[in-house]
Structure 1
Amino acid sequence: MKTGATALCAGVVALSSFSLGAEAARRHYRSHHHHPPQLPAAPLRALPYPQLPLPFEIPGAQYLPLAWADVKGWSDDNHLAAYKTFRASCKPINAQTGASEPKALAGSLNEPCRAAKSLELADDAKAKTFFEENFAPLRISRLGEPDGFVTGYYEPVLEGSRTQTDVYNVPVYRRPSNLFVRGYKQDSVSLPNKGPVYRKIGRRKLVPYYDRAEIEDGKIAGRGLEIAWLKDPTDLLFAQIQGSARIKFDDGGSVRLNYDAYNGYPYTAVGRVLIERGIIPKEEMSMQKIREWMAQNPDGAKDLRRQNRSYIFFREVNLSDKEEAVGAQGIPLTAGRSIAVDKALHVYGTPFFIEGELPIESERSKTPFHRLMIAQDTGSAIIGPARADLYFGAGQEAGRVSGRLRHPMHFVMLVPKGLDPSARAARLPVPDPRPSEKIAKLFPQTDPGKGTAKPAAAAPADTKSDTVAIAGPVPLPAPRPAIEADREPQRPVKKRPQRQQ
């Protein structure tokens, strides 16, 4: 992709080289002389070709265009399942009416989404053809790194109570009314999970919001913010890390919770803290290992939780038990097909083909994983161009699988054909025709290296009289030499005595 951008820029650089050379000479002169001559400003040269936008660029990323045959495992995937997930993402994309996002793909997904709107596919081969006809594969990774990195997440199913009891005494809070984020109304749905968050005091005063330790110590208790009550603070911590939860009550009822806001502090991975303290080796780290250690060390667990000062507030969502959790795109996720990505770099609905080996079947297994996933969610810990959190569904088994994922994987981003650099090149206008053979002979080009005339290439006998002549390169003009301007001798200035005030 960067090669395409370089080729597209080459013509612009060549066309503007004369004016650039003159400007460089003027800068050189100004830097060496105190009194530069007043040169008339050079008129702006109009380019003969329109300046088409360059292919997209993702900050901090490196990428390589591929052929579909070079995408390992592409033919082995269930493309119909991926198509159904992509089509679900297209509903909010097709409904957008405002300006597109200022990101790499921007509004380019509109085109394939319009095509998918009328295609009720039921055949895997046709779904595979749809992706190949509407997208181009692009290998992507962080700059200087060969692979991307994946983790997993799920929706916890927890036991809880509607009221506080001796057993259920860990509150699950909704967003407080005094929590404030600049640029958002206080009743906005799903505030951002990055950036500063304030506690509003009165009408004008803003201070940082309470951190986890202050909230656990009761700073917002007794305000009617409790949605439900849990048994274990570790359950609440992991529900906050996952961003959603299902809480089942003794009377058979349940409540579905989704992320709504956070308190403004950056997320700190408790697993990394345990690794740094030498408690759990890095190669053995998993969510289950963290849970086991916290259960065996209640006092240490309290300190460990407070190392992560970030705190999540939830909102109730109206979902049935058969529906999956709702992602940041605003639609229910698909287990095994939805991923969370860095929202600062990527657009929801973007397909990513992720390939490698993961411990799906057991902790030590190397299950081949080659699957087309759709970006439908985000997370504060998901940072980078080739970083994804794979969604595995709800319940304990999904939690076990996702909890042991911390693995490098190959990322292939599917780029809409509207951004394909080869497709852009096909839309470039044809350059002006070169002079005829007769004109080329009358005004031969010279070789700047030898200083002798170089004849134009002779045309084949079977060509017409207006055959294009191949001329040698036109030498660039030498920069203007730095000539010091003559200065008039200055007359000595007589000092006058200062006047007395």
Structure 2
Amino acid sequence: MSLSPLFVEKAFGDLPGWDDDDHQAAFAAFRRSAFHVLTKPYRSGALGVDFHAFADAYAEARIVSPANRSPVLTRGEARAFFERHFVPALIPAENAGAGLVTGFYEPQVEASPVRTDRFSLPLLSRPADLVDIDDANRPPGLDPYLAFARQTPNGPVEYPDRGEIERGALDGKGLEIAWLADKVDAFFIHVQGAARLAMTDGRLARVTYAAKSGQRFTGPGKILSEIGEIPLAEVTMQSIRAWFKAHPDRADEILWQNRSYIFFRPADVEDAALG
């Protein structure tokens, strides 16, 4: 597999701040990934980064027991590890513009194990009739973008989207994992694909991604910018939340334009400090 021409090879000395980075913390994070891939290998993306190219780095990182989560390399050893196994690459922004870096985190929200007047918005588990779709089982006429579909006696069809599900398309199927109080909190959990749930019974629970309805994702920031509610340059998670707080009656109008719906599964809270 060849690397995408978007990558421009650089030296570690070209990386701003590399000398001052916390290489031990970076190695600790990489080591967790090295054990994770033993049960769930990462998919290689369209940029041509071959998962198997990480094999030597993963093997070296796994020499340390997974039960030992504290950094075990000195800062210099951790830095040498990355410089030995990796090559920095620059991805130039299109048309000499500015790049955009996004990140993942796990929000923590209050939740209830049962529906109440306050907690009425469910996080749903994967439905039994949701099936994976690829070129081998995709029926003629089904949107080639869809990687999931609803299995019916007549074959796979497009799954209900966010608006249909939130209007009750899956009610009565017993899919509810937990119940939330805030529609915007629920939406951003869908965006992140995972969350910590501070349950009303005192437990700290966790959910993570299981599957999705399959339709394309459309971010609310893009929608709000296009209709003139938030200038594009000012679109952030904070500005989006502030807009929804000021316009709660328009939440469905905006959020249902993102047809993609995420399903979850319960997961262990392995380390409360992570995420």
Give TM-score, length-normalised by structure 1.
0.47
Indicate the SS of the match to 1:218.
Answer: helix
Partner of 1:222: 172
Q: How does 1:84-483 map to 2 (within 5 A)?
A: 84-93=28-37, 95=38, 103-118=48-63, 121-141=72-92, 145=96, 148-182=99-133, 195-202=146-153, 204-320=154-270, 322=272, 324=274, 393=275
Cα deviations by residue, 1:284-342 (Å, 9 ceiling, x for unpaired):
22212222221222221110111111111111012256253xxxxxxxxxxxxxxxxxx
1:79 and 1:124 in contact (8 A); partners too: yes
Conserved in 2, the CA contact under 8 Å of 1:245 and 1:257?
A: yes
Q: Which amino acid aligns with 2:3?
A: E
| DSSP-derived class of the 2:81 partner | helix
| Residues 473-498 of structure 1 deviation map (CA, whole Å, 9 limit, x = unaligned) | xxxxxxxxxxxxxxxxxxxxxxxxxx
Other-structure match for 1:57: 3
2:24–2:73 CA contact under 8 A, matched in 1: yes
Cα distance change of structure 1 residues 143 and 57 upon mapping to structure 2, 3 Å threshold:
farther
1:134/1:178 Cα in 2 relative to 1: closer, same or farther (>3 Å)?
A: closer
After superposition, the Cα gap between the structure-2 partners of 1:205 and 1:252, relative to the gap in structure 1 and judged at 3 Å, is same
Pair 1:253–1:85, CA change in 2 (3 A): closer
Q: Which amino acid aligns with 1:281?
A: P
1:81 maps to 25
CA distance in structure 1 between the aligned counterparts of 2:86 and 2:214, rounded to whole angstroms = 38
CA shift for structure 1 position 220: 0.6
Question: Contact between 1:200 and 1:207, CA under 8 Å: does it hold in 2?
Answer: yes
Change (3 A) 1:147 1:222: same
Over 3 Å counting, the alpha-carbon distance change for 1:277 and 1:72 in structure 2 is same
**Partners of 2:106 and 2:62 in 1: CA distance:** 29
Show CA shifts across 1:84-121 (max 9, x none).
2222222345x48x9x9694334222123333444784
Kept in 2, the 8 Å contact 1:62–1:144? The answer is no
The separation in 2 between residues aligned to 1:135 and 1:170, in whole angstroms, is: 44
Deviation at 1:222, TM superposition (A): 1.4
| Higher-helix-fraction structure | 2
Partners in 2 of 1:64 and 1:249 — Cα distance?
Answer: 47
Can you give the 5+ residue segments of structure 2 that lack an aligned partner in the other structure?
65-70, 135-144
RMSD between aligned alpha carbons?
A: 2.8
> Aligned-pair distance for 1:161?
1.5
SS at match of 2:241: helix
* Separation of aligned partners in 2, 1:286 and 1:143: 21
Change (3 A) 1:124 1:178: same
1:245 Cα deviation (Å)? 1.3
Contact 1:294/1:301 (<8 A) preserved: yes
Q: CA deviation at 1:143?
A: 6.3
Question: Larger strand proportion, structure 1 or 2?
Answer: 1
Percent identity among equivalent residues?
A: 36
Distance 1:171 1:130 in 2: 44
Aligned pair in 2 of structure 1 residues 127, 321: CA closer, same or farther (>3 Å)? closer
Structure 1: stretches of 5+ with no match in the other structure: 1-54, 184-193, 325-392, 394-501
1:295 touches 1:301 (CA, 8 Å); kept in 2? Answer: no
1:69 aligned to 13, 16, 24, which one? Answer: 13
Higher-Rg member (1/2):
1
- What SS is found at the alignment partner of 2:169? coil
AA partner of residue 209 (structure 1): Y
